């Protein structure tokens, strides 16, 4: 094995895949072109990935990890006792990563079209869970601190509780249904708002959607978070 320059590591492969993704979207990440840019023959890649789909899967997992790391770091730069600020920071980190890496964001959160890379048990689920945990921990703290606004249990949609997936948390850390409801709402709205903005679907109304979209996320936080109680409760 001659090392023409560097070793042919999975990292270098994924990195080239990302270049191609940025340049021309998913259809542009083409096995033979990846090989060309690595000065290597195409079948060599099959020692590291089982095919083109696997290349995409590796890339997705890597990007999910980068995104999760970004949000995690933003969150952990906030004073430990300020859960509301943590939510704001993680959300802002999510949004700015998405805007700065539109193609990558689209690959991760674009509609998982039939026939595309559909990893059921691949390395994506680990990264995906890690990402979920970043936000789950914030909501957990909001809940413990009494800063999470929660609807009355009787106001939840009929049959909502029955559809809940029981979380893998220990029983003493389980979220009450109303908290899961708020978590899911925060997630659905955050991801939805950012997806629409990143896709440029606001272009018909404004030339720059920056201040508008940011306000939408702030309003969401306002709906989720309870103002700090005034005096000491005891």
Partner DNA sequence: ACGATAAGTTAACATCGTTAACTATGCAAG
Partner DNA sequence: CTTGCATAGTTAACGATGTTAACTTATCGT
Q: Which residues bind a copy of itself (CB under 8 A)?
A: 22-28, 102-103, 105-107, 109-116, 132, 157-160, 163-165, 180-181, 183-185, 187-189, 191-216
- Residue 169 binds which entry of a copy of itself, DNA, none, CB below 5-8 Å type-dependent: none
- Please report, for residues 79, 93, 133, 193, 232, the alpha-carbon distance to residue 65 in angstroms, rounded to integers and kept in the order given: 24, 14, 12, 21, 40
d(CA 128, CA 110): 14
CB of 60 to a copy of itself, least distance (A): 14
Q: Residue 15: which H helix or E strand, with range?
A: helix 10-24
- For residues 30 and 42, which CB has a smaller minimum distance to a copy of itself in the complex? 30
- For residues 7 and 80, which CB has a smaller minimum distance to DNA in the complex? 7
> By the criterion CB under 7 A, which residues form the site for DNA?
1-2, 7-8, 30-33, 39-44, 46-48, 51-53
- Residue 102 binds which entry of a copy of itself, DNA, none, CB below 5-8 Å type-dependent: a copy of itself
CB of 130 to a copy of itself, least distance (A): 13
Distance between start and end Cα atoms, the chain:
71
- Residue 180 binds which entry of DNA, a copy of itself, none, CB below 5-8 Å type-dependent: a copy of itself
Q: Residue 173: which H helix or E strand, with range?
A: none
Both tokens of residue 133? Answer: 């945990």
Mention every residue, 6+ apart, whose C-beta is less than 8 A from residue 196: 202
């Amino acid at each position: 094995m001659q090392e023409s320059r560097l070793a042919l590591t999975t990292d270098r492969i994924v990195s080239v895949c990302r270049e191609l993704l940025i340049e021309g979207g998913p259809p542009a990440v083409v096995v033979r072109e990846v090989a060309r840019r690595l000065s290597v023959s195409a079948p060599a890649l099959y020692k590291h990935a089982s095919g083109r789909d696997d290349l995409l899967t590796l890339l997705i997992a890597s990007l999910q990890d980068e995104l999760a790391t970004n949000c995690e770091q933003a969150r952990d730069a906030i004073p430990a006792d300020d859960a509301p600020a943590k939510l704001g920071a993680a959300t802002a980190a999510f949004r700015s990563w998405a805007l700065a890496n539109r193609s990558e964001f689209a690959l991760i959160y674009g509609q998982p079209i039939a026939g595309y890379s559909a990893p059921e048990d691949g390395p994506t689920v680990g990264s995906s869970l890690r990402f979920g945990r970043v936000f789950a921990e914030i909501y957990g703290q909001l809940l413990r601190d009494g800063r999470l606004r929660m609807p009355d249990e009787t106001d939840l949609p009929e049959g909502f509780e029955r559809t809940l997936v029981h979380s893998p948390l220990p029983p003493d850390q389980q979220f009450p249904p109303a908290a899961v409801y708020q978590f899911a709402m925060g997630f659905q709205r955050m991801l939805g708002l950012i997806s629409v903005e990143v896709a440029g679907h606001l272009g018909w109304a404004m030339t720059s959607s920056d201040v508008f979209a940011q306000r939408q996320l702030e309003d969401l936080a306002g709906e989720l978070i309870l103002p700090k109680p005034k005096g000491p409760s005891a």
